[in-house]
Amino acid sequence: ILNVEQSPQSLHVQEGDSTNFTCSFPSSNFYALHWYRWETAKSPEALFVMTLNGDEKKKGRISATLNTKEGYSYLYIKGSQPEDSATYLCAFYAGNNRKLIWGLGTSLAVNP
């Protein structure tokens, strides 16, 4: 059974703080790791699709790294802003069944 774990489950930070969260996934049959940002009642927004071990991707103040050998990815937010408040979801894409397996997400609240 494929399992994707995200930690922490929730996080409260102050505006300006930098923060990071973890996505753990199976290290076998790896094909890709997707990160999404989701505000309730809106569409989940694609952040990154990561495929190569050692990959590092950046979008504004948000960046992500990937370690496929040990099965984890980190998402970093530099200088958090209230508008960063959302649930951050990762999804593992396996090479043998081509479907997204999702974590529960990390709920981030940034206090002004």
Binds other proteins (CB under 8 A): choice among 11, 34, 73, 77: 34
State how far the Cα of 37 lies from the Cα of 64, in Å rounded to an integer: 13
Which of residues 49 and 109 has its CB atom nearest to other proteins in the complex? 49
Token pair in block for residue 70: 């040990």
* Type and span of the H or E element at 12: strand 10-14
- Nearest approach in angstroms of CB 93 to other proteins is 5
Is the backbone peptide bond immediately before 8 cis, with ω within 30 degrees of 0? yes
The answer to whether 3 and 26 have CB atoms below 8 angstroms apart is yes
**Range 41-100, binding other proteins (CB under 8 A):** 41-46, 49, 51, 89, 91, 93, 97-100
Is residue 108 a contact point for other proteins (CB under 8 A)? no
Tell me the Ramachandran region of residue 92: left when phi exceeds 0, alpha when psi lies from -120 to 50, beta otherwise. Answer: beta
Which of residues 17 and 67 has its CB atom nearest to other proteins in the complex? 67
Residue numbers of the site for other proteins (CB under 8 A)?
4, 31-32, 34, 36, 41-46, 49, 51, 89, 91, 93, 97-105
